Structure 1
């Protein structure tokens, strides 16, 4: 089949995004499409595949996200902003509830975080700190800034389901080798957390009225990544839960891909405002039965959007 898509990114987390509202394809087929299109060795590449899916009685549209390995994520907040933008454009709306795999989120278009940078705000929660919801097979009480028995690390973690599982540790300085070692262990699906988990090391870089976090994440199904939206949200919540930032205080959250503005509210609800940048439009033939792809055709480039994002990064 020939699919049209938008190559987009949220905070540097990049994806092909397909309007799949009228496409009938089973999960195995979408998994093969995701592995083909998100392959960094291919013509498109990405941190996964985003799908805009139809509305229902409670949601103005839906989103699905498949990782590069073909697994489906419960959510992807950087991808949600991009998907919501496309959904708003094709439905003529600017706010509403979006269906995710196992939950829903509120999304709306808001004022740009920088000149020319299309910005979407998402609100998720209440999220869960119940160990079973995070996928941990041990422990009854939430792990909040505490060691997790059975994890091959002595660090204190906060375990939170966004609803995808996150383990967040605050560090003085990120050690990528340590992060990758722990991420690889979780990626193997050990008995402690058989569905795997996203692991983040977080630096608190500023405090007071203008706090800032720097987040480095090993993403489930992806590996070490420059950006993970749900990890930024989980880190913001963990910072509030542990008293490192205040509840209701807007926080700048950085990663190697860019920056978002995040707020954690009492009741474990997290709001994030960040970019939803469309880079170019394309179409490609892909066989869902085999994952074979044909030649890529670029239909148009969004050069002004790319330039606006680059200007924002230069000013950080």
Structure 2
């Protein structure tokens, strides 16, 4: 099978984006691993599929596969690339696009400067819905990982996140604790692990070890989860600039059941064809 794709990135979090509307595409986990392989395949953090809508309330359906072949519920940087892709390819002429995902519907707004703003929906803090094993909902949870006693916040933005406060992200133990936390038994569906340095009430630095992809240059849902975690701990304001290794996102949340909003860039790199 010859597969046509577009290579894209959001702040260095890179994707192979596939039009599964005008191509007959049924990717296997092995094929996703091949596409994600940076030596033998195309190379990416995630493979994104653009599919026909599954209900009348949406314009498209959005599927995400990590470079290890696993399918996941949500990807914020990928959603921004998804919006630019469907506009650039002429699949829609809308500036407001409703998209179905495994974790629910999201709305994407393409701004005049080409950036994309996304209504990511309200965060989930109830442990059983994240899912995270805890006796009761709390702002922070004590957890042991890698022989250390840690304090984390647990948040779902359509996918599970653990957020740890650190003094300096440059010195954070991402490589050591990331893999251990990702597969911690208290997170039955594994977890994305964020290491957050608070610089001011409106500014943080963040590194994220992503479930199934290791550390990436940016993680949109991770940025959302970190800001939510900082707000519920009384550390952050409603609007926060999040500096990631690949660039900056702006996250807004008014608390409670209000949705989290994410704004940032999305870029196309090149068009390609690959044999699977």
**How far apart are the structure 1 equivalents of 2:161 and 2:170?**
18
- Whether 1:57 aligns to 2:56 is yes
Partners of 1:212 and 1:253 within 8 A in 2? yes
SS across alignment from 2:116: strand
- Whether 1:157 aligns to 2:155 is no
> Where do residues 55-204 of structure 1 align in structure 2 (5 Å cutoff)?
55=53, 56-89=55-88, 90-112=91-113, 118-137=114-133, 139-144=134-139, 146-152=140-146, 153-174=148-169, 178-187=173-182, 189-204=183-198
Question: What is the aligned counterpart of 1:34 among 16, 32, 35?
Answer: 32
CA 1:46–1:6: 2 relative to 1, 3 Å: same
CA shift digits 1:106-135 (9 cap, x unpaired): 1111143xxxxx211111122211112222
Structure showing the higher strand proportion among its residues: 2
Deviation at 1:52, TM superposition (A): 0.9
SS across alignment from 2:149: coil
Larger Rg: 1
SS across alignment from 1:70: coil
CA 1:176–1:217: 2 relative to 1, 3 Å: farther
**How far apart are the structure 1 equivalents of 2:172 and 2:164?**
15
- Aligned residues between the structures: 271
Partners of 1:142 and 1:159 within 8 A in 2? no
CA shift digits 1:60-107 (9 cap, x unpaired): 112111000000111000000001122234211111221111211111
**How far apart are the structure 1 equivalents of 2:112 and 2:227?**
21
Deviation at 1:177, TM superposition (A): 6.1
Q: Note the residue ranges of structure 2 that are not aligned, 5 or more in a row.
A: none
SS across alignment from 2:151: coil
* Matched residue, 1:285: 275
The ranges of structure 1 where at least 4 consecutive aligned residues each deviate by more than 3 angstroms after the TM superposition are 22-26, 149-153
Partners of 2:169 and 2:205 within 8 A in 1? no
Question: What is the aligned counterpart of 1:222 among 195, 209, 213?
Answer: 213
**How far apart are the structure 2 equivalents of 1:54 and 1:280?**
23
SS across alignment from 1:230: helix
Partners of 1:143 and 1:157 within 8 A in 2? no
CA 1:265–1:88: 2 relative to 1, 3 Å: farther
Partners of 1:129 and 1:160 within 8 A in 2? yes
* Matched residue, 1:233: 224
Q: Note the residue ranges of structure 1 that are not aligned, 5 or more in a row.
A: 113-117, 287-316
Deviation at 1:178, TM superposition (A): 2.4
**How far apart are the structure 1 equivalents of 2:97 and 2:161?**
26
Question: What is the aligned counterpart of 1:245 among 236, 246, 249?
Answer: 236
CA shift digits 1:198-233 (9 cap, x unpaired): 1111011233xxx21111111100112221111011
